[in-house]
Amino acid sequence: MAKPLIICRNLDITYNKGKSNEFKALANASTDIYEGEYIILFGASGSGKSTLMYAIQGSLPPGGGTMLIGGEDIYSIPVDERIYFQRYVMGIIFQSFNLIGSLSVLDNVALPMIFCNADKPTRERRAQSLLERFGVGHVSHKIPSMLSGGQQQRVSVARSMVNDPKILLADEPTGNLDSISTQQVMDKIDEINTFDKRTIIMVSHNAAHLRYAHRVYYLKDGYIVREVVNPQRKQIKPVKEGETIVTELEQLARLFPYDSIESLRVKSLVNFVTQEYTFSQLERLEKAMEYFISGKIDAQAAIKTIVLPYERGGVGISEKEARRMVHVAGTMLNQADDIRRFRRQYDQAHTFFGQDKLSERLRDHLLTVHKMKLTKKQDENLVEVIADRVVGVSGEDEFNERISKSVSGGGMGLSPDEADDITRYFEKIIAQGVDVSYKS
């Protein structure tokens, strides 16, 4: 059986050891990484991801434990040989590109080859062909600052590959990029893994990236707290029989990447006792709703998708239930559209124009949905409470408090349950109708 290419055993890394600001950034970390694997080190900021990556790269000697690459303990070999490792066995990409500003793009990419025996024309030919492969061949004569962030990162991908390394390390390579450039860079890194068969170790805190990896190591406070196999990719690391079965916990771990195993177990159980749908169904239902909310599909198409059997790509929910769901979502969205239009106008003109009308319409909607009849005073109070909530004068808690207040005290005199019910429903509408930038 193949041996792992990279073996970390019980790595401990402490910054500023012995000083007052001593900080243990990595504790007892062990990983086995096989040739050809795509591994993501995942976790919140400060969890120790970069520390682990630079330890693997050979530039952070551990306080304890061992780090073997291809069977060699890289921290016990002489420094000049270790540099050889870093130059020819590993390529690296940084979040901030780290290109040399005074050199042309071509020279930036050719630079790491300067220590190998190839002559200048050969080096430049190789650099140019890599730049072309990554879609930036046409800007090779420019200096980095003339390129967009996405282009600069593709230049550094080319640079990282110039000495044909076995392992590519990337520290949040898309952290500074817009979504289109992110996609391009992620596609190129994926290609280096699937087409060139290089081992990838990527640091990320973007859950959307997890699907690229064979396996993900989750880090928290300097510990590797979980290792999750991606069931969508054929595994390279030998797996024991039964290990690749996608458990619901693994599915949940992808949906809630920052949760501990304990809280995932709780979620699983609570889902079981409160919901008749599985997480896979809910995931598909979310997709259908996302398309419906964004207007990509209409109500009929949404219902069709929801009704379609699960095996055929649908959610597999009965037609009656699907119609009810889309109807509720649709009426909420109509109200939300009103709020959105109003908020836009409010934000631009700073007028209260149309506020009463909007509040009255929302009141009518609430009364219909909750089948309520109000006295004149209750009605007036409700319109006022709604108006304050819509313009953001009051928050969710205050809305709830005010509708439970007595009628003479400016409220509606609702029971706590009734108030909670209406607040919850109204907040759903607010959430759809108010842009995130409005949330304080």
Question: Which residues are at the interface with ligand ADP (CB under 6 A)?
Answer: 15-16, 23, 25, 43, 45-51, 203
Q: Which does residue 353 touch among Mg ion, ligand ADP, none (CB within 5 to 8 A, set by kind)?
A: none
**Toward ligand ADP, which CB reaches closer, 23 or 310?**
23
Burial of 267 (0-12, 13-18, 19+ CB in 10 A): middle
**Toward Mg ion, which CB reaches closer, 48 or 165?**
48
Lookup: tokens for 17 = 């050891």
Q: Should residue 47 be labelled a site residue for Mg ion when binding is judged by CB under 5 A? A: no
SS3 237: coil
> What minimum distance in Å lies between the beta carbon of 9 and ligand ADP?
19
> What minimum distance in Å lies between the beta carbon of 222 and Mg ion?
13
> What minimum distance in Å lies between the beta carbon of 13 and ligand ADP?
8
Mark the segment that binds Mg ion (CB under 5 A) among 44-52, 102-110, 154-162, 428-436.
44-52
> What minimum distance in Å lies between the beta carbon of 50 and ligand ADP?
3
* Distance separating alpha carbons of residues 310 and 317, to the nearest angstrom: 9
Contact 316, 309 (CB under 8 A): yes
Q: Which does residue 45 touch among ligand ADP, Mg ion, none (CB within 5 to 8 A, set by kind)?
A: ligand ADP
The residues in 22-41 that bind Mg ion, with binding defined as CB under 5 A, are: none
Lookup: tokens for 65 = 């434990």
> What minimum distance in Å lies between the beta carbon of 222 and ligand ADP?
7
Percent composition of the chain: helix, strand, coil (DSSP 3-state, to 5): 50, 15, 35
Report strand pairing: 223-229 vs 215-220: antiparallel
Q: Which does residue 43 touch among ligand ADP, Mg ion, none (CB within 5 to 8 A, set by kind)?
A: ligand ADP
**Toward ligand ADP, which CB reaches closer, 45 or 294?**
45
> What minimum distance in Å lies between the beta carbon of 205 and ligand ADP?
8
DSSP state of 94: -
> What minimum distance in Å lies between the beta carbon of 83 and ligand ADP?
20
Lookup: tokens for 6 = 């990279």
Q: Which does residue 300 touch among ligand ADP, Mg ion, none (CB within 5 to 8 A, set by kind)?
A: none
Q: Should residue 204 be labelled a site residue for Mg ion when binding is judged by CB under 5 A? A: no
Lookup: tokens for 305 = 């998708």
**Toward ligand ADP, which CB reaches closer, 162 or 228?**
228
**Toward ligand ADP, which CB reaches closer, 16 or 348?**
16
Contacts of 286 by beta carbon, 8 Å cutoff, 6+ apart: none
> What minimum distance in Å lies between the beta carbon of 337 and ligand ADP?
40
* Distance separating alpha carbons of residues 383 and 393, to the nearest angstrom: 14
Lookup: tokens for 416 = 């706590």
**Toward ligand ADP, which CB reaches closer, 202 or 332?**
202
SS3 267: helix
Lookup: tokens for 168 = 């590519």
CA quadruple 341, 342, 344, 348: dihedral sign: positive
Q: Using CB positions, name the residue nearest to Mg ion.
A: 50
**Toward ligand ADP, which CB reaches closer, 65 or 411?**
65
Question: Which long-range CB contacts under 8 A does 263-271 form with residues at least 24 apart?
Answer: none
**Toward ligand ADP, which CB reaches closer, 203 or 285?**
203
Q: Should residue 50 be labelled a site residue for Mg ion when binding is judged by CB under 5 A? A: yes
> What minimum distance in Å lies between the beta carbon of 171 and Mg ion?
6
* Distance separating alpha carbons of residues 406 and 386, to the nearest angstrom: 16
DSSP 350-377: ---TTHHHHHHHHHHHHHHHTT----HH
Contact 229, 238 (CB under 8 A): no
**Toward ligand ADP, which CB reaches closer, 113 or 224?**
224
Q: Point out which residues bind Mg ion (CB under 5 A).
A: 50
